[in-house]
């Protein structure tokens, strides 16, 4: 069966979110070992717009999904993993978390490199040299990005999320090859994927370096505002470049250009255990079902119950 839509996903706390053309499927492993699932339509005004899948616009839609939908389910998965089944997260809590996350991300990865580069070049006696400042800013931004990934990967909880990330990629690989969604079949595929969010971030950083270099100005207000305003533009361009890279990945030159994204996935994806693969399969099966498609013949169908119908867990309950 030819798939006209490229399914994507996101690792959660003890779970996986899979995104289809019209809705998402989510599967989570509770502390007692039960798999619970949920689905959600992608029905925001942004999704309903007829231009939502148009080139460059779809990159902004994906950014919205990752920031808003992804953050909400990441928080909810954390509640389930902490035996907080049934805890509903209010819109204000999600909005506040998202706002704080965005402020920190923009401050650390967009503005901090600018300030450090300006201060560093000035301290070295470089004076007002825009080209030197842009080069220093680019190097600092890359170092902060890679350093952040290496730092967070040391946490045990994050390593488990990275294992679920690997399970998500391997399961999508199997779907794209129309292989049965079984543990044995899925294990034949790599944890890295050319449409990974990590690779998107790598492309995002590279595109931002190029576009920010055009903002060679001594006016700090213009420099800061320009970097913030350009974020949606960078996301749109980066997503289109990522799609092109995934489509022509068999070409040697394209593989070489996008190699850094695959290298970084050695940090952000890890080999999952069999239970994690089962959760990824459950998530993808729900995403396929709610989007009106079927899993490849012979696929695993892990036992699971709806999240809303699952009996609440007592705090501290575990397998």
Q: List pLDDT tens digits, range 249-285.
A: 888 988 898 888 899 999 999 999 999 999 999 999 9
Of the pLDDT bands very low, low, confident and very high (cuts 50, 70, 90), residue 2 is low
Radius of gyration, alpha carbons of the chain: 21
Of the pLDDT bands very low, low, confident and very high (cuts 50, 70, 90), residue 315 is low
Which pLDDT score is estimated for 3?
Answer: 67
Who wins on pLDDT, 174 or 72?
174
Mean pLDDT of the chain: 86
Interstrand relation of 305-306 and 35-41 (parallel, antiparallel or unpaired): parallel
Which pLDDT score is estimated for 57?
Answer: 87
Who wins on pLDDT, 95 or 140?
140
Q: Is the pLDDT of residue 221 over 70?
A: yes
Of the pLDDT bands very low, low, confident and very high (cuts 50, 70, 90), residue 154 is very high
Sign of the dihedral through C-alpha 96, 106, 192, 2 = positive
Q: Is the pLDDT of residue 65 over 70?
A: yes
Query: How many residues are given for the chain?
Result: 319
Non-local CB neighbours of 197 within 8 Å, separated by 6+ positions: 10, 66
Who wins on pLDDT, 94 or 223?
223
Who wins on pLDDT, 17 or 216?
17
Which pLDDT score is estimated for 111?
Answer: 87
78 contacts 87 by C-beta, under 8 angstroms: no
Which pLDDT score is estimated for 94?
Answer: 66
CA distance linking residue 164 with residue 185, whole number of Å: 17
For the segment 74-103, the average pLDDT, to the nearest whole number, is 74
Interstrand relation of 8-12 and 23-29 (parallel, antiparallel or unpaired): unpaired
CA distance linking residue 25 with residue 8, whole number of Å: 11
For the segment 52-76, the average pLDDT, to the nearest whole number, is 85
**pTM for the whole structure:** 0.86
Chain center to CA of 101: 14
Q: Is the pLDDT of residue 149 over 60?
A: yes
Q: Is the pLDDT of residue 84 over 70?
A: no
Distance separating the N- and C-terminal Cα atoms of the chain = 38
């Amino acid at each position: 069966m030819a798939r006209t839509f490229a399914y994507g996903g996101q690792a959660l706390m003890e779970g996986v979110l899979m995104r289809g053309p019209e809705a998402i499927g989510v599967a989570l492993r509770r502390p007692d070992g039960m798999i619970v699932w949920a689905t959600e339509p992608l029905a925001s005004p942004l999704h309903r717009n007829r231009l939502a899948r148009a080139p460059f616009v779809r990159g902004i839609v994906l950014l919205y999904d990752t920031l808003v939908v992804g953050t909400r389910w990441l928080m909810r998965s954390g509640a389930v993993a902490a035996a907080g089944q049934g805890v509903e997260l209010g819109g204000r809590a999600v909005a506040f978390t998202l706002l704080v996350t965005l402020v920190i991300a923009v401050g650390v990865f967009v503005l901090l490199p600018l300030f450090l580069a300006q201060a560093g070049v000035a301290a070295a006696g470089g004076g007002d040299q825009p080209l030197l400042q842009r080069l220093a800013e680019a190097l600092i931004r890359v170092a902060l990005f890679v350093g952040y990934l290496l730092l967070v990967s040391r946490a045990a909880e994050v390593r488990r999320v990275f294992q679920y990330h690997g399970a998500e990629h391997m399961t999508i690989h199997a779907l794209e090859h129309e292989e049965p969604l079984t543990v044995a079949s899925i294990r034949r595929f790599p944890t890295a994927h050319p449409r990974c969010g990590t690779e998107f971030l790598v492309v995002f950083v590279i595109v931002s370096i190029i576009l920010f270099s055009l903002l060679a100005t001594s006016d700090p207000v213009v420099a800061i505002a320009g970097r913030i305003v350009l974020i949606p533009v960078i996301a749109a361009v980066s997503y289109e470049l990522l799609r092109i890279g995934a489509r022509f990945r068999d070409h040697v030159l394209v593989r070489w250009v996008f190699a850094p994204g695959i290298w970084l996935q050695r940090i952000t994806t890890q080999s999952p255990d069999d239970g994690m693969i089962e959760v990824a399969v459950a998530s993808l099966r729900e995403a396929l079902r709610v989007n009106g498609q079927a899993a490849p013949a012979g696929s695993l169908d892990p036992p699971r119950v709806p999240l809303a119908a699952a009996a609440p867990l007592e705090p501290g309950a575990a397998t």
